[in-house]
Amino acid sequence: MLKDLSKNIVEDIAVAVALEKETPESKIWYVYLINLKDQPIENVLVTSKGYGEKDGEQVKTSVLRHMMPLVEAGASALIEPIDEATFGLNNEYWVSYYIGKDIYDKKFIFLPESIVDSNFIKLPVLNKVGVMIR
């Protein structure tokens, strides 16, 4: 039965952590969903959570859920702001969406200390600097 299910492979979808604004005192970061496809995605659900170890203790953040009715082709959607204090944790974003009647889902995980200057790229669609997982 499992072999009869179609394997809907997620392609051309990315989650990015972008540096939004920088002042001498602080940096403001946002997480975006980027649709690199040539078609829109619909009924997008993103769950986010952080987990890992900090100062020898296991830490978990709250699970947040975000809904986007539509993300156009070649566009982005804001998921949430993110605090630099969580960059030492695993930051997980589970994305589910529809194209027509087919559902797709994929987990994107920013590993601890992966959101650092040495990993920055110019993010497509957003034209900002940050880290992206495809």
Percent with pLDDT over 90 in the chain: 87
2 Cβ neighbours under 8 A, 6+ residues apart? none
**Domain ranges (residues) in the chain:** 2-126
pLDDT in tens, 56-69: 999 999 999 999 99
- Taken in order 115, 94, 59, 85, is the CA torsion positive or negative? positive
The SS3 call for residue 5 is: coil
The band of 2, judged by pLDDT with boundaries at 50, 70 and 90, is low
Read off the pTM.
Answer: 0.93
- In this model, does residue 1 exceed pLDDT 80? no
CATH-assigned architecture of domain 2-126? Sandwich (2.60)
Between residues 61 and 3, which one has the greater pLDDT? 61
* pLDDT at position 41: 98
